[in-house]
Amino acid sequence: MFKSLRFIAALGAVLFATVALAACGGIPGDAVVQVDGNNVQKTTFEHWMQVASASTAVNAGEKIVVPVPPNYTACISHLATNAQKSGIKVPSNAALKAQCATQYKSLSHEVLGFLISSEWVLGEANHLGVKVSDEEVHKQFNQIKTTQFPTNAEFEKFVAKSGQTVSDLLLRVKLNMLSQKIQTKIVKEAGKVTEAEIEKFYNQNKGRYGTPEKRSVSIILTKTEAEALAAKKEVESGKSFATVAKEKSTDPVSKANGGLLPEVVKGQEEKALDEAIFTSEVNKLGGPVKTSFGYYIYEVRTIKPGNQQSLAQAKTTIKQQLVSTKEQAALAKFVKEFKTRWTAKTDCQPEYTVPDCSNYKAPKA
């Protein structure tokens, strides 16, 4: 968790965000976003821009430079220096500035989305009465720290490189735990599966809880009825079905196998042939049967009976499936309503608007 610095949205948000009570009359000048009356300060935004920029560093020990509009002076200088060190032609100042502007847009949208979604999780947890104690947070923090960093020196190195503080990491853990508890609460309230629902599902989907009857059948396909009757006569006179099939059949699938189609399931073949096969006795030569492909003669070789689980046998499986379906539906419904509800409570300064802001306007195509 700690080593993954990419920001994530909505219920997965794990970000420390400093907030203050909003004053009347809109968003104050020292804030970038206001969520349900709480302000996210510019200093918080700048802090996480530093963290986001650190996560994009390619080389160890590389200087972290945050692209800062409108001039992007430090960013341009940094890119030019890197180009010189790499022995490549330094792009024009305009090209470097455009690159810095692109970086800023990408990082700022990522950070703002993260800041906003964090406030949403905090607000939703408070609304639902979902809480985690400091003791729970520290316990989880220490488990993650021990797993990812065998020594304290490695942890300190990571903290210095990432630009985060221990407080940042603790609150990332807290918000992640809140997100999980919110999800657990929604799933728990999804509703129980009734006996009637289980029985209805079983009756509507019996085919899922059993195997169908299977028949192995030998066939010969000919273009005309006369050819089919002639082939049938040869079999009746004592010539083996397999030999006649190899000589006379036009069916490319079964011909090489002496006309044999193993384990045919009802509904698999064309309707007329299917009905003939599944009403025939074993080892009884039948046909010709007219189909859109031509004329068939056939002989059922073996019948493998199907089996069907009873409702009692399938009950546990069905219940688990219905519970899972209800939980997924409840979560999908919650996430949709959650986003709509909290977007309406989120106002952003004009230069910091992203899709999660109520005052966001999509750019024209």
Whether residues 170 and 266 share a domain: the answer is no
- Give the total residue count for the chain: 365
Helix (H) or strand (E) holding 289: strand 285-291
Whether residues 125 and 227 share a domain: the answer is no
Whether residues 36 and 145 share a domain: the answer is yes
Report if residue 110 sits inside a domain: yes
Report if residue 337 sits inside a domain: yes
Report if residue 321 sits inside a domain: no
Report if residue 314 sits inside a domain: no
Tokens representing 85 are: 């060190």
pLDDT of residue 59: 65
Higher pLDDT, 48 or 21: 48
Report if residue 343 sits inside a domain: yes
Report if residue 86 sits inside a domain: yes
pLDDT of residue 191: 78
Higher pLDDT, 62 or 162: 162
Whether residues 83 and 160 share a domain: the answer is yes
Other beta carbons less than 10 A from residue 133's beta carbon:
10
Report if residue 358 sits inside a domain: no
pLDDT tens-digit profile of 277-306? 999 999 999 999 999 999 999 999 999 999
Whether residues 181 and 232 share a domain: the answer is no
pLDDT of residue 1: 66
Nearest to 70 by CA among 95, 42, 101, 94: 101
pLDDT of residue 20: 37
Domain of 298, in residue numbers? 213-305
pLDDT tens-digit profile of 201-234? 999 998 899 899 999 999 999 999 999 999 999 9
pLDDT of residue 2: 62
Whether residues 14 and 144 share a domain: the answer is yes
> Structurally, how many domains does the chain consist of?
2
pTM attached to this predicted model: 0.71
Mean pLDDT of 316-320: 95
Report if residue 312 sits inside a domain: no
